[in-house]
Structure 1
Amino acid sequence: MITRTASARYEGLGKDGQGHVSTQSGVLAEQPYGFNTRFEDEPGTNPEELIAAAHAACFTMALSFALAKEGFSDGTLETTARVKLEKDGDGFKVSRSDLNLEATLPGIAAERFATIAEGAKANCPISKLLNAEITLEHRLNS
């Protein structure tokens, strides 16, 4: 079993508070976040952006490994994830993650590619974690 960690600190409360998030690897170190970075597009990060990055990275890696297992050895995969934060009663919920994939992969039929990509979408660990609608649009370049 692999365990990865991250931490968050929030000083002050509500809209006036300011948070900082850090990851075990140090890629994020005291990265600011708060109401303004989450709801008003101020510089800094937010949980939904971090989930989107994790989902895009996880899915793309899962697809890369699935394609390699099928015998493909060359190609480029580029994925964007759009995570939706919506009002839910008095709070909010992450309701969906829309993956948009552009791939260049010589020698694969579009139908076979679509099947492998859908399998990667369903089976990447972050997809399994999210209790949200997950969609996938893809374009295979020739």
Structure 2
Amino acid sequence: AKLDGELGGVESLEAQNHLAACADCRTRAEAIAVEAERVRGALSSLEPLPSEAPGEARTAFARFRAEHAEPPAQAPSLAGRLFARRLRPVWGAVAALAAVAVFLSFAPARGWGQKILAMLRVQKIAVVTMTRVDRLAG
């Protein structure tokens, strides 16, 4: 705190008096001062050049946004909206229905379809009487 100038007037005077009286603390304080100066010199070489340092934070942020701005998004076209990813299953179903309709419009396929429907029609009804088992036991 003494090296950084963070001590008040009274505390700084007490630290000076103690360092004058205690050789051990004075030696340690001098070693710390030498090390602090070495670190300060090393850190000063990392400072940006005056041409690299931005003058103001807003200016630097505006320059950053201009360099890294994304191009404005364009509105999708009509075809892009019709064939969007979320509508692909719908278009697949429409294509399948259209294929079935085209297939069944030909005479051989129509005859085949009629045969299948004829197999599924009910030709004969049989009436079966049912009795409850508990009536028979009684």
Taking structure 2 as the reference length, the TM-score comes to 0.22
Q: Which structure would you say has the larger Rg?
A: 2
Bigger RCO (CA 8 Å, 6+ sep): 1
Give the strand-richer structure, 1 or 2: 1
